[in-house]
Chains A and B, each alone.
Chain A
Amino acid sequence: MDLGSIISILITSLMAMVPIVLTSVGAVWSERAGVVSIGYEGVLLMSAFFGAIAAEVTGSGIMGLVGGIATGIIFGILHGVLTVYLKGDHIIPGIGINLLAMGVVPFGILAYWGTAGQHQVAVTLWSWNTKYGKISPMVFVTIAIAVITWWVLFKTPLGLRVRSVGENPEAADALGINVEKYRFWSTVYGHALAGLGGAYMSVAWLGVVQKTMSAGRGFIALANMVFSGWNPLVALLGGWLFGFFDALAAWLAPLHIIPGQFILMLPYIMTLIIVAGIIGKARPPKWDGRPYKRE
């Protein structure tokens, strides 16, 4: 392995970390407030699709990202209403959102662009093209979002209130904090970040919309959230690690050392090992996934 390929793997790993980090950071915030969602996989996929449409309709890559965020917000509102206000189960709506995405995106690609399974996005976000591969400004936006989210969550009164409704909603309620309001908007924020990550995949990184393009990243992001101990800064590091395995798999695949299928398994196997190794030490917020009903 020469220096050039090391640099190009590192650059690819930064590009690949973006959707995982954004989704993880969003999930950290949402779970710190006590709301679990497993629908991020579907949100990534649908915002990749709707983000690409938004970019092509407006002719702007930035508007594509905005379209992704809007898609995330819509599903965040849906999940928030079901779990926070109607006190429903936190897992089942996510299953529904994921199933919906598996229908909406293949259907939409065919019905909107008339191509089966895949569409090349005509308008993409600007990026630096180096001889080792392209770098999107979204890499730096993602790092900034992770740092700012960490700072707000742990260093500001707003973050303290968010964490209190996930850790001890009864005490928070007694102090006059509107538990439902904080939980609801935390859910929306979490899904909005996933929406940004999804649109990044189609509009900035890969430049295509594919019906299987989320490829488990929504769930890898959840594993990364557990790995991080619900901390956005560690999630940034962990997300880069997952991005690295992604990049390594992509680099190894054309070399045909072992069958390609075994290399493609790598990110998923590493996720399992890391989560199995770390857990037990990681403690979720106390009221994570539990509906809060006022007595």
Chain B
Amino acid sequence: MKSSKSDALKFFNFKALIESLIAIFVGFLLGAIVLLVFGYSPAETYYWLFKGALGSTNGIASTLAYSTPIMLTALTFAISARTGIFNIGAEGSFYFGAIAAVIFTNIWGNMWFGLAMGMLLGALWSLPAAFLKVYRGVHEVISTIMLNWIAWFFVLWLVVGPYANPNDPNKTIRIPESARLPLIGNTDLSIAFIIAVIASVLTYYLLWHTVFGFGMRASGINPKAARYGGVNPNKAIIWSFVIGGIMSGLGGAMKIMGEPPTYAISQGMANVYGLGFDGIGVALVGRNHPLGIIFAAIFFGMLRAGTPLMQIGAQVPLEIIKVIQGIIVITVAIPGLYDLIKKAFKRGEA
């Protein structure tokens, strides 16, 4: 147990933390410039954004609720990234997890059954890309993006067709009360958040404290060496897709089963769209580390939770937070950011 603690702490290495914080700072800075260009007040925007996200119990509950699905889709990306794969397919598995929850909890109104079927469908949907990668050499970025679009249209057909709510045809039928996730205290936050944190910790344990996880990381760092050491990189790749699919499927199921007051997939699938892509940003800011992802997800959840008040208070379109997120991710992509900054400061002193 001692070693696990020191390993967990090793993540908080100064450089990685500073680089993520710099990226966040750059995101807000350039975001402010965009706001100014379009004639909004950055100070007012950020004030209402943070007040909305952290200014009240409801705000904090909303922050944690928004952080839940993106924490899980971030794990999807991170697990693959550690295995040397760029899995952009969290989005598709997320849709399938969501529709699985709707379908199967209406067959048997049991919470655990709904979560299990969400995970199962999420995992199944991740398999085509895994097999195409391993057996046909199809680059996973291309296959997962195509599969996301196919998933989108297929689930949309289920949403507006067979599983549409007869009383409200723009939404699906609702999750029965017996299968809804319990809420925490007097808030709209469900236990989904706690499950997502547990999933992150389990992923961390799997990757860093089991032989299985070591094999996955080894084939991510050097597939040839891993094969020499008795690990089959193809197996590692397939498992990374499957575990990733489980995480996103779980995220999709919990998004619908733990989100009052709707408990259904909404019109145009608006409440399930884009959370897989947001997860990629979360994973990159969290340095593809399950424990870093917990904090990165809460940060991104905070941005999202603050938007309703920001829209009212500063009249700014909520998409500005996506602009900020994009800038943050591009900044994280700058290699050796910390060393560059340090060098720049040294030059400044001299």
Contacts and interface: CB of A to CB of B under 8 A. Distances in A.
Interface string B318-350: 011111111101111111100000000000000
A102 B277 contact: yes
A270 to B, nearest CB: 9
A93 interface: yes
Contacts of B320: 103, 107
A220 B154 CA distance: 19
A78 B330 CA distance: 9
Contacts of B323: 100, 103-104, 107
B5 interface: no
B146 A276 contact: no
Interface stretch (B56-64, B65-73, B133-141, B169-177): B133-141
A216 B149 contact: yes
Residue of B136, B154, B319 contacting most chain A CB atoms (<10 Å)? B319
Contacts of A102: 274, 277, 322, 326
A59 interface: no
Given A82-B334, A89-B335, A265 B142 contact: no
Given A38-B141, A95-B280, A103-B319, A264 B153 contact: yes
User: In the complex, which range does the number of interface residues on chain A fall in?
Assistant: 35 or more
Contact of A89 (B39, B331, B333): B333
Interface in A69-98: 78, 82, 86-89, 91-93, 95-98
Interface string B9-23: 000000000000000
B292 to A, nearest CB: 16
Interface string A202-218: 00000000000001100
Contact of B38 (A41, A100, A112, A259): A112
Interface string A239-279: 00000000000000000000101101100110110011001
Nearest to B321: A103
Interface string A47-61: 000000000000000
Contacts of A216: 145-146, 149
B86 interface: yes
B132 A97 contact: no
Interface string A93-120: 1011111111110111011100000000
A176 interface: no
Given A89-B333, A216-B146, A279 B280 contact: no
Nearest to B139: A226
Nearest to B143: A272
Contact of A93 (B150, B278, B333): B333
A107 B335 CA distance: 28
A219 interface: yes
Contacts of B278: 99
A261 B138 contact: no
A280 interface: yes
A93 to B, nearest CB: 5
B130 interface: no
Which of B138, B143, B284: most chain A Cβ within 10 A? B138
Contact of A262 (B88, B153, B324, B333): B153
Contact of B330 (A97, A269, A276): A97
A82 B331 CA distance: 10
A222 interface: yes
A38 B325 CA distance: 18
A44 B278 CA distance: 20
A18 interface: no
A269 B136 CA distance: 16
B153 A261 contact: yes
A261 B151 CA distance: 10
B145 A265 contact: no
Contacts, number: 149
Nearest to A263: B153
Contacts of B313: none
Nearest to B39: A111
B244 to A, nearest CB: 16
Contact of B156 (A41, A88, A261, A269): A261
A104 B38 CA distance: 12
A98 B317 CA distance: 19
B197 to A, nearest CB: 24
A286 to B, nearest CB: 15
Interface in B257-312: 274, 277-278, 280-281, 284
A21 interface: no
B147 interface: yes
Nearest to B158: A261
Contacts of B138: 272, 275-276, 279
B154 A261 contact: yes
A41 B86 CA distance: 16
Contacts of A268: 146-147, 149-150
Interface in B29-63: 34, 38-40
Contacts of B284: 92, 95-96
Given A82-B333, A95-B280, A279-B136, A269 B319 contact: no
Contacts of B156: 261
B229 interface: no
B120 to A, nearest CB: 22
The 7 closest A-B pairs by CB, nearest first: A103-B322, A100-B326, A96-B330, A107-B319, A88-B335, A103-B323, A96-B329
Given A99-B278, A261-B157, A268-B149, 11 more contacts: A82-B333, A93-B333, A95-B86, A98-B326, A99-B281, A103-B325, A107-B38, A107-B323, A262-B157, A271-B146, A275-B143
